[in-house]
Copies of this chain bind each other. A is one copy, B any other.
């Protein structure tokens, strides 16, 4: 199948072609795909920062243990969790449901109250972890959409979130960086593009119960 071929084509890029800028249409598709990702309860606790600024990318690269992909990439996508998931945030979601679908408050209210109650019982660490999980889910979607649209990418956990937060001014937006992913087009001389994929055998990683 086409999508499997695309997943085989993708790899974690070690060197981007610095001279290629991704066309706006591809960036728009990525933004759309990001926004369409399923999230827990539909609460969308993640925002995406799209950086296309070489000076800033240089600084972000320093805060990414000098991984040069961040500096070379056409764009850098930073997935950031909302740091204030409270009753107001949840109520806003239900307001949106009502506006989009015209669902009555009578129907929405019990679930809304239940959700607000459930989140009020979580510690701030638990809420942060819940949001972080959603960032990973979104990354999984974006990686596949990048592959499907022939965008090269390098997903990264290896960076210093506090420094990203500072460089991107995230704190005053009530955001905290979780994951980063430079995207662009692979350099012709990135030898990693030619390496065989290392994976367990499918029979080793999949258990079937019929």
Tell me which residues across on chain B come within 8 A of A33, comparing CB atoms: 3-4, 7
Tell me which residues across on chain B come within 8 A of A133, comparing CB atoms: 132-133, 136
Distance from A208 Cβ to chain B, minimum over Cβ atoms (Å): 5
* Chain B CB within 8 A of A199 CB: yes
Q: Which of B93, B129, B141, B207 sits near A140, CB closer than 8 Å?
A: B141
Per assembly, the copies of the chain total 2
- Select the stretch in A64-72, A94-102, A109-117, A182-190 that faces chain B: A94-102
* Chain B CB within 8 A of A206 CB: yes
Residues in A lying within 8 Å of B, measured CB to CB: 1-4, 7-8, 10, 12, 29, 31-38, 40, 42, 44, 46-53, 56, 93, 96-97, 100-101, 129, 132-134, 136-145, 148-149, 155, 157, 168, 173, 195-200, 202, 205-210
